[in-house]
With several copies, the nearest count.
Chain A
Amino acid sequence: MFKKIVIANRGEIACRIIRACREMGIASVAVYSEADRAGLHVQMADEAVGIGPPPAVESYLHMDRIIEAVRETGAEAVHPGYGFLAENPEFARRLEKEKIVFIGPNSRALELVGDKVRARQTMEKAGIPIIPGMKRVADDFAEYAAEAKAIGYPVMIKASAGGGGKGMRIVCSEEDLRPALEAGRREAKSAFGDESVYLEKFIENPRHVEFQVLADNDGRIVHLFERECSIQRRHQKIIEETPSPALTPELRQRMGEAAKRVLEVSGYNNAGTVEFLLDREKRFFFLEVNARLQVEHPVTELTTGIDLVHRQIRIAAGEKLDLKQEELSQRGHAIECRIYAEDPANGFLPSAGKILFLQEPKGPGVRYDGGIFSGWDVPIYYDPILAKLIVWAETREAACRRMRSALDDTVILGIKTTIPFLKDIISHPRFREGATTTGFIKDHFGDWKEKEASGETEILSLASAAFFDSRKTSEAGVLSVRAKEQYSPWRMLGKWRIGEKSDLSGE
Chain B
Amino acid sequence: MEFEYLVKAESRRVSLEKKGEHWIFRAGDQTLEADVRIISGNAFSLIVGGTSHLVGIADHKDTIYVSLDGTTLTLKRPGAEEKRFEKGEEGSKEGITVVKAPMPGKVVKINVAENDAVRKNQTLAIVEAMKMENEIKSPMDGVIKKIHSSAGDLVDSEKSLIEIEPKT
Report whether chain A binds chain B.
yes
Binding site for B on A (CB under 8 A): 30, 37-38, 42-49, 72-73, 341-343, 346, 349-354, 356-357, 359, 373-375, 380-384, 407-408, 411, 413-414, 419-420, 423, 453-454, 457-471, 473, 479, 482-483, 486, 488, 490-493, 495-500, 502, 504-506
Known: A349-B103, A459-B25, A466-B25. A413 touches B45 (CB 8 A): no
Taking CB atoms, residues of chain B closer than 8 Å to A490 are 4, 11, 78, 83, 86
Report whether B82 and A492 are in contact in the complex, using a CB–CB cutoff of 8 Å: yes
Taking CB atoms, residues of chain A closer than 8 Å to B36 are 467
Q: Which of B38-96 contact A (CB under 8 A)?
A: 38-40, 42-48, 50-60, 64-73, 75, 77-79, 82-83, 85-86, 89
Report whether A460 and B68 are in contact in the complex, using a CB–CB cutoff of 8 Å: yes
Taking CB atoms, residues of chain A closer than 8 Å to B25 are 459, 462-463, 466-467
Q: Which of B17-43 contact A (CB under 8 A)?
A: 23, 25, 27, 30, 32, 34-40, 42-43
| Residue among A47, A479, A499 with max Cβ neighbours from chain B (10 Å) | A499
The docked-state distance in angstroms from the alpha carbon of A461 to that of B133 is: 35
Asked whether B13 is an interface residue with its Cβ less than 8 Å from the other chain, the reply is yes
Report whether A357 and B65 are in contact in the complex, using a CB–CB cutoff of 8 Å: yes
| Residue among A349, A353, A461, A502 with max Cβ neighbours from chain B (10 Å) | A461
Taking CB atoms, residues of chain B closer than 8 Å to A491 are 11
Report whether B9 and A463 are in contact in the complex, using a CB–CB cutoff of 8 Å: no
Taking CB atoms, residues of chain A closer than 8 Å to B89 are 493
Interface segment, one of B109-117, B124-132, B143-151: B124-132
Known: A459-B25, A460-B68, A468-B64. A380 touches B154 (CB 8 A): yes
The docked-state distance in angstroms from the alpha carbon of A488 to that of B86 is: 13
Q: Which of B110-168 contact A (CB under 8 A)?
A: 121, 124, 128-140, 154, 156-157
**Chain A, Cβ-Cβ closest to B78:** A490
Taking CB atoms, residues of chain B closer than 8 Å to A380 are 104-106, 128-130, 154
Report whether B66 and A461 are in contact in the complex, using a CB–CB cutoff of 8 Å: yes
Give 8 closest A-B pairs by Cβ, nearest first: A499-B102, A356-B58, A408-B70, A463-B25, A350-B130, A413-B65, A350-B129, A357-B58
Taking CB atoms, residues of chain B closer than 8 Å to A498 are 99-100, 102, 124, 136-139
Taking CB atoms, residues of chain B closer than 8 Å to A468 are 44, 57, 59, 64
Known: A466-B1, A502-B137, A505-B132. A73 touches B59 (CB 8 A): no
20 cross-chain CB contacts under 8 A: A42-B45, A48-B52, A49-B50, A73-B50, A346-B102, A349-B102, A349-B103, A352-B104, A373-B40, A383-B131, A407-B70, A461-B66, A462-B7, A463-B25, A464-B57, A467-B36, A468-B44, A470-B16, A493-B89, A505-B134
Taking CB atoms, residues of chain B closer than 8 Å to A45 are 52
Report whether A465 and B66 are in contact in the complex, using a CB–CB cutoff of 8 Å: yes
* Of the residues A350, A420, A460, contact of B55 by C-beta under 8 Å: A460
* Of the residues A37, A42, A504, contact of B134 by C-beta under 8 Å: A504
* Of the residues A356, A460, A492, A502, contact of B59 by C-beta under 8 Å: A356
Taking CB atoms, residues of chain B closer than 8 Å to A407 are 70
Report whether A504 and B137 are in contact in the complex, using a CB–CB cutoff of 8 Å: yes
Report whether B44 and A464 are in contact in the complex, using a CB–CB cutoff of 8 Å: yes
Report whether B73 and A46 are in contact in the complex, using a CB–CB cutoff of 8 Å: no
Interface majority SS on A: helix, strand, loop or mixed?
Answer: mixed
From residue A341, how far is it (CB to closest CB) to chain B in Å?
7
Report whether B51 and A483 are in contact in the complex, using a CB–CB cutoff of 8 Å: no
**Chain A, Cβ-Cβ closest to B31:** A459
The docked-state distance in angstroms from the alpha carbon of A471 to that of B36 is: 12
Report whether A465 and B57 are in contact in the complex, using a CB–CB cutoff of 8 Å: yes
Taking CB atoms, residues of chain A closer than 8 Å to B46 are 460, 463-464
Taking CB atoms, residues of chain B closer than 8 Å to A351 are 103
The docked-state distance in angstroms from the alpha carbon of A502 to that of B54 is: 35
Report whether A473 and B102 are in contact in the complex, using a CB–CB cutoff of 8 Å: no
Report whether A38 and B73 are in contact in the complex, using a CB–CB cutoff of 8 Å: no
Taking CB atoms, residues of chain B closer than 8 Å to A460 are 32, 46, 48, 53, 55, 68-69
Taking CB atoms, residues of chain A closer than 8 Å to B60 are 354, 356, 414
Report whether B16 and A341 are in contact in the complex, using a CB–CB cutoff of 8 Å: no
Known: A357-B65, A483-B3, A490-B11. 13 other contacts (CB 8 A): A350-B105, A356-B42, A357-B43, A359-B56, A380-B129, A461-B66, A461-B68, A463-B14, A467-B44, A468-B44, A492-B82, A497-B100, A499-B103
The docked-state distance in angstroms from the alpha carbon of A462 to that of B3 is: 9
The docked-state distance in angstroms from the alpha carbon of A506 to that of B102 is: 15
**Chain A, Cβ-Cβ closest to B134:** A504
Report whether A462 and B5 are in contact in the complex, using a CB–CB cutoff of 8 Å: yes
The docked-state distance in angstroms from the alpha carbon of A354 to that of B59 is: 11
Report whether B14 and A466 are in contact in the complex, using a CB–CB cutoff of 8 Å: yes
The docked-state distance in angstroms from the alpha carbon of A374 to that of B79 is: 25
**Chain B, Cβ-Cβ closest to A73:** B50
Taking CB atoms, residues of chain B closer than 8 Å to A381 are 130
* Of the residues B16, B45, B78, B99, contact of A466 by C-beta under 8 Å: B16
Report whether A356 and B27 are in contact in the complex, using a CB–CB cutoff of 8 Å: no
* Of the residues A37, A463, A506, contact of B34 by C-beta under 8 Å: A463
Report whether B12 and A44 are in contact in the complex, using a CB–CB cutoff of 8 Å: no
The docked-state distance in angstroms from the alpha carbon of A414 to that of B101 is: 17
Report whether A499 and B134 are in contact in the complex, using a CB–CB cutoff of 8 Å: yes
From residue A29, how far is it (CB to closest CB) to chain B in Å?
8
**Chain B, Cβ-Cβ closest to A343:** B103
| Residue among A46, A454, A473 with max Cβ neighbours from chain B (10 Å) | A46
| Residue among B16, B52, B139 with max Cβ neighbours from chain A (10 Å) | B52
Report whether B121 and A502 are in contact in the complex, using a CB–CB cutoff of 8 Å: yes
Report whether A42 and B52 are in contact in the complex, using a CB–CB cutoff of 8 Å: yes
Report whether A457 and B56 are in contact in the complex, using a CB–CB cutoff of 8 Å: no
Report whether A504 and B75 are in contact in the complex, using a CB–CB cutoff of 8 Å: no
Taking CB atoms, residues of chain B closer than 8 Å to A486 are 2-4, 13
